Amino acid sequence: MPVHPHALSLIGNTPLVRLHGPSEATGCEILAKCEFLNPGGSVKDRAALYIIEDAEARGQLIAGGTIVEGTAGNTGIGLALVGNAKGYRTIIVIPETQSQEKKDTLRALGAELIEVAPTAYSNPAHYVHTSRRIAEETPNALWSNQFDNTANRMAHIRGTAPEIWEQTGGRIDGFTCSCGTGGTLAGVGLGLKEFRDDIVIGLTDPHGASLYEFFAHGELKADGSSVAEGIGQSRITANLESAPIDTQFRISDEEGLAQTFALLRDEGLCVGLSSGINVAGAMALAREMGPGNTIVTILCDSGMRYLSTVFNPAWLAAKGLPAPAWLKR
Ligand code: PMP
């Protein structure tokens, strides 16, 4: 398409790239979907656009309306951009612990930002519940509800999965990624299984999340903590219900960081920690399935969003995590 008719049509249709280091280390073809190339810089642009257009189609969002969401940042960035393009106001509730880059970006994009202290999901002050209350109190507002609104995973059933199928020419044996809402994993999983039921779908869970234990042993149980932003789920969201998970892996921050830094140093890809965790998960799936398989994963967002955290040696040291030599120069 030589000219896109509208900025919104820049969302999706992201390229798939071969990761040389992980492919050579495992004897598999490890391919990654470059979601950091979406206009808002993350995979969440897809969900933002789909949720808004679904609400418009249902008459839940009309001209002059307001979009309200609780988000770790990337969904808010997507919603703010789509909201601007379509003429909606955006209110974002965010845990104050999210990276300064994401908060500054949201303000710069015109979102009204409400920072709240991080709490357990069971606490009514949790950012998700706060966003629902604000939506209820705001006239003509849509609570986009990315965790339990399945328009989120539909963006991946209808978009990401068919793109992967087409880009690989149907030569795909496995797919894995981590979960925030679970929209990407469940949506790509369900979408790929529509093409071929024997494509193996793997959950990649960071330490500290509960999904690994749930899919391995049927019990939601956390096991530590992770510094990764945007992933790590403690409940079965509506988007995760009936997700076709065949196998699961648990990845530490150290393993995820090693892959994040290797992607930058060896492949020239600057991505965030959830992407590094996904690549470590793809390598685990490759080892489980054996050489000769083609495995796809997701590069969720850009590393530029984490200059004050993952790419900052002082921050890493404060978390007891190793920094690569070039960062300390
Ligand atoms: N990585 C990052 C950086 C994210 O912000 C998110 C979304 N919160 C994800 C991964 C996970 O995506 P999903 O919500 O589709 O599970």
Q: How far apart are CA 84 and CA 74, in angstroms?
A: 15
Which among 33, 35, 43, 157 is the best mutation to test ligand 1's pocket, defined by most ligand atoms within 8 Å of the CB?
A: 43
pLDDT given at position 61: 96
Q: How far apart are CA 101 and CA 117, in angstroms?
A: 18
Who has greater pLDDT, 25 or 97? 25
pLDDT given at position 99: 80
**pLDDT, tens digit (0-9, with 9 covering 90-100), for 121-175:** 899 999 999 999 999 999 999 999 999 999 999 999 999 999 999 999 999 999 9
Indicate which residue's Cα is closest to atom 12 of ligand 1: 180
Taking the centre of ligand 1 as the mean of its atom positions, its distance from the CA of residue 182, in whole angstroms, is 8
180 lines ligand 1 (CB under 6 A): yes
Q: How confident is the model at residue 1 (pLDDT cuts 50, 70, 90)?
A: low
Phi, then psi, of 314 in degrees rounded to 5: -70, -40
Indicate which residue's Cα is closest to atom 2 of ligand 1: 230
Helix/strand/coil percent split, the chain, to 5: 45, 15, 40
pLDDT given at position 2: 84
300 lines ligand 1 (CB under 6 A): yes
pLDDT given at position 40: 96
Who has greater pLDDT, 81 or 329? 81
Q: For residue 188, what are the contacts with CB-CB under 8 A and spacing of at least 6?
A: 156, 157, 160, 161, 164, 175, 177, 201, 298
- For the question of residue 44 being annotated catalytic, the response is yes
Question: In b/e form, how buried is each residue of 86-117, taking b as 16+ CB within 10 angstroms?
Answer: bebbbbbbbbeebbebbbebbeebebebbebe
Taking the centre of ligand 1 as the mean of its atom positions, its distance from the CA of residue 329, in whole angstroms, is 31
Residue 46 and residue 194 in contact, taking contact as beta carbons nearer than 8 Å: no
274 lines ligand 1 (CB under 6 A): yes
**pLDDT, tens digit (0-9, with 9 covering 90-100), for 162-188:** 999 999 999 999 999 999 999 999 999
Inform me whether the pLDDT recorded for 14 exceeds 70.
Answer: yes
Report ipTM (2 d.p.).
0.99
* Bridge partners (DSSP) listed for residue 294: 29
Inform me whether the pLDDT recorded for 98 exceeds 90.
Answer: no
* Bridge partners (DSSP) listed for residue 141: 66
Mean pLDDT (whole number) for 25-51: 98
Q: What is the mean pLDDT of the chain?
A: 96
pLDDT given at position 184: 98
Please name which of 26, 21, 25, 18 lies closest in space to residue 292, comparing C-alpha atoms. Answer: 26
Inform me whether the pLDDT recorded for 283 exceeds 80.
Answer: yes
